[in-house]
Structure 1
Amino acid sequence: MKPWHLPSGRQRGIPFLLPDDWSPEQALVVLELLDDLREVLWARYQIRVQELLNEEFCNGPGSASCSTEEEDPPF
């Protein structure tokens, strides 16, 4: 079985299969639901999510690229 390549990077869990017979309208409704869910979550957890993302992406190797200190321009 081919591994899933999800934006989250998760490779384990229960796969979610979409029905083959969805109409474009049904797909649009689900996309709108996901957009609304993202907006509600972002409004509620924005600062904490940003902090977690900062920890995840900026505290590892090469974290100098996430520095907020002003540096000399590279040119």
Structure 2
Amino acid sequence: MKRDPMLPSGRRRGLAFIVPDDWTPEQALAVFELLEDLLAIVTGFYGPQLHELLRQQRMPARVRSPKRDPPF
């Protein structure tokens, strides 16, 4: 069974989207600017919460565990 490729988010599943081969540079720039604006708006609204969630998700499982070994 073939595995899905890894996305930049680290996930293997997401929105199915393929950039068409016939886009002009202007069309690609329009999409890039749209995504950049969306990122700025979402980050402006949810920035601190997103930062904390990303920090928690990227921590090793042992560090995230509520049970900790005693310091000695």
Match of 1:50 in 2: 51
Q: In structure 1, what is the equivalent of residue 24 of structure 2?
A: 23
Q: Which residue matches 1:34?
A: 35
The TM-score normalised by the length of structure 1 is 0.68
Tell me, in whole angstroms, the C-alpha distance in 1 between the residues paired with 2:46 and 2:14. Answer: 24
Q: Calculate the aligned-residue CA RMSD, in Å.
A: 2.3
Shift in alpha-carbon separation, 1:30–1:14, aligned structure 2, 3 A: closer
| 27-36 vs 12-21, greater mean Cα deviation | 12-21
Q: Percent identity?
A: 43
The answer for unaligned runs of 5 or more in structure 2 is: 65-72
Which stretches in structure 1 are left out of the alignment for 5+ residues?
64-75
Q: Which portions of structure 1, spanning 4 or more consecutive aligned residues, are displaced by more than 4 angstroms?
A: none
Residue in structure 1 matched with residue 9 of structure 2 by the alignment: 8
